[in-house]
Amino acid sequence: MGNGLDPSTIDAITRRLKEPAWLGDSRRQALARHHQLPWPHPSDDIWRRTDVRLLDPAQGFSTVAPPLLERMPLQHAQLERFTQPLGNEHLVVRANGAWIHEPQLPGMVVRELADAVERDPQLQQALAADGLSQAEQKLTTLNSAFHHDDVALRIPPGTSVDRPVRLVRIMSAAPQQALFPLTIITVGAGSTVILIDEYVSLVDPSQSEPTHLINGRINLVLEPHANVHYVRLQRWDPAGREFLLQRATVAEGASLTVANLALGASVSKAHFMTRLTGPNASTKLYGFVFGHGAQHVDQHTLQDHQAPHTSSDLEFRAALQDQSRMIYTGLIRIAQAAQHTEAFQANHNLLLSQRARAETIPMLEILADDVQCKHAASTSPIDEEQAFYLRSRGLSRQAAERLIVMGFVESVVQRIPYAPLQQQLREDIEGGLTH
């Protein structure tokens, strides 16, 4: 078997998913486009610190969709924490492209992409490449060509969803498997919802090097005056390598709060793009990375102000232990038309070991003249005065550091509007601290 980066794999996927012809065509076009595009050049600031070959499925990965979960020797306990609700949330669980907890959400529609597009042809636009750099297209066309676990979630206009919706996607990954999850979320005009979008990869523990690749895409569309809290929880297995393109479009008067939490993967290159397309659109963007082992996390954000009277406030944080490495590049782009705009960006890195490293690069591209724009960045080890204060109260060095780290994390955890998840995250992060 070849590497699977060819039209015959696409034919197999479309047959298996019983997709309409147009979707197969769109996949084949994406693959052709992928082959035309160059790989990102090392002179590109947004890409130079990550070896993109690590994200190339042509380097010995299989793009054939994984078999159903039942064929994997998974422990019940492995699954349990993802298949049980944390509290009163609406829980929807999907494993290897099959529903485990069927979506039964009042007022909401969750479908597979082909089915969803048939009813709403506009959804196809979610796959469009407009506004993406060639480098981003090079990677995201792979998702467009091979996506095999699609979820399209639509919240009709004027809906207020009473409880948080937690969508868990579990994917089993054989060694050298490439996975292509695709998520399209549309929130109708004036609707309100809290969405938790959780991604997990599980490997066969008997495999010694279960390296796998995940090329994901998330599209979030807020129609006018929608109000959305969106939490993305990345829990890939430590042997996973990730590329993610997450793009949110926020229309007039809509408000989006995002928390992106990255806990897993060995290599992660993630682009978080937010377009404010209508007047008075606003967004708050939070990010947290817990770096451990030899993890390499490279995140890029774009706060794209296209309309006047828009605001964005971004705060990304990373706590890095062992020899983990964090790269953050953040671009604020303000179009000429986007007068009276406010954009803030902050990136804070806490180094928990002498071998951990962080780089942060803010970028501004401002074409309007009546705007407020600020950025801040810091990279530092544990503050010795804080440590001394805590130790003077009887906390050991280790206990003091833990408390300081958990305080550092808290400013992002606090933004998640669902207490049971906050608590789970605190425990997960504290449990992962090696000190």
Quick one: 256 or 404, whose CB is closer to other proteins? 404
Beta-strand pair 177-179/371-381: unpaired
Distance CA 146, CA 410 (A): 37
Residue 268: CB minimum distance to other proteins, A:
24
Is 406 near other proteins (CB under 8 A)? yes
- Taking the complex as a whole, the smallest distance from the CB of residue 404 to other proteins amounts, in Å, to 7
21-36 vs 7-16: helix axis angle to the nearest 10? 150
* Shortest distance (Å) from residue 387 CB to other proteins: 9
Q: Where are the alpha helices (DSSP H) in 236-323?
A: none
Shortest distance (Å) from residue 166 CB to other proteins? 24
Count of CB atoms within 10 A of residue 141's CB? 24
Q: What sign does the dihedral 359-311-249-86 (CA atoms) show?
A: positive
Return left, alpha or beta for 103; rule: phi > 0 is left, psi -120 to 50 is alpha, else beta. Answer: beta
Question: Is residue 409 a contact residue for other proteins (CB under 8 A)?
Answer: yes
250 contacts 221 by C-beta, under 8 angstroms: no
Number of residues in the chain? 435
Which of 411, 419, 423, 432 is the binder for other proteins (CB under 8 A)?
411
Applying CB under 8 A, which of residues 74, 132, 395, 433 lies at the interface with other proteins?
A: 395
Q: How many CB atoms lie within 10 A of CB 224?
A: 18
Number of residues that bind other proteins (CB under 8 A): 25
Show the binding pattern over residues 279-308: x = contacts other proteins (CB under 8 A), - = does not: ------------------------------
C-beta of 84 vs 396, nearer to other proteins: 396
130 lies in the binding site for other proteins (CB under 8 A): no
Query: Which region among 28-36, 168-176, 271-279, 389-397 touches other proteins (by CB under 8 A)?
Result: 389-397
What are the distances in angstroms from CA 223 to CA 217, 300, 311? 19, 25, 16
Indicate whether 378 belongs to the interface with other proteins (CB under 8 A).
no
| H/E segment holding residue 329 | strand 325-334
Q: Which runs of consecutive H residues, i.e. helices, occur in 52-170?
A: 76-83, 113-119, 134-146
* Least separation in angstroms between CB 87 and other proteins: 20
Of residues 196-235, those binding other proteins (CB under 8 A): none
Residue 434, both tokens = 């090696």
* Residue with Cβ nearer other proteins (91 or 400): 400
Q: Which residue has the tokens 């506004």?
A: 131
What residues contact 21, with CB distance under 8 A and at least 6 apart? none
Q: Which of 368, 410, 424, 428 binds other proteins (CB under 8 A)?
A: 410
Residue 44 vs 383, nearer CB to other proteins: 383
CA distances in angstroms from 231 to 27, 171, 234, 285, listed in the order given: 28, 19, 10, 10
Note whether 239 binds other proteins by CB under 8 A: no
Query: Does 392 help bind other proteins (rule: CB under 8 A)?
Result: yes
Return the amino acid letter for 394. Answer: G
Backbone phi, then psi, for 312, in 5-degree steps?
Answer: -140, 140
Q: Determine if 390 is a binding residue for other proteins (CB under 8 A).
A: yes
**CB-nearer residue toward other proteins: 145 or 421:** 421
- The nearest distance, CB 376 to other proteins, in angstroms, is 14
User: Residue 119 corresponds to which tokens in the numbers above?
Assistant: 């009813």
Q: For other proteins, which is the closer residue by CB, 94 or 402?
A: 402
Listed ranges 48-56, 119-127, 372-380, 381-389: which one lies at the site for other proteins (CB under 8 A)? 381-389
Contact call for residue 319 and other proteins (CB under 8 A):
no
Among 71, 119, 205, 388, binds other proteins (CB under 8 A): 388
Verify binding: residue 396, other proteins, rule CB under 8 A: yes
Residue 350 interacts with other proteins (CB under 8 A): yes or no: no
- Residue 373 CB, nearest distance to other proteins (Å)? 24
SS3 232: strand
Least distance (Å) from other proteins to the CB of residue 432?
17
Burial of 110 (0-12, 13-18, 19+ CB in 10 A): buried
Which stretches of the chain bind other proteins, using CB under 8 A?
383-386, 388-397, 399-400, 403-404, 406-411, 414
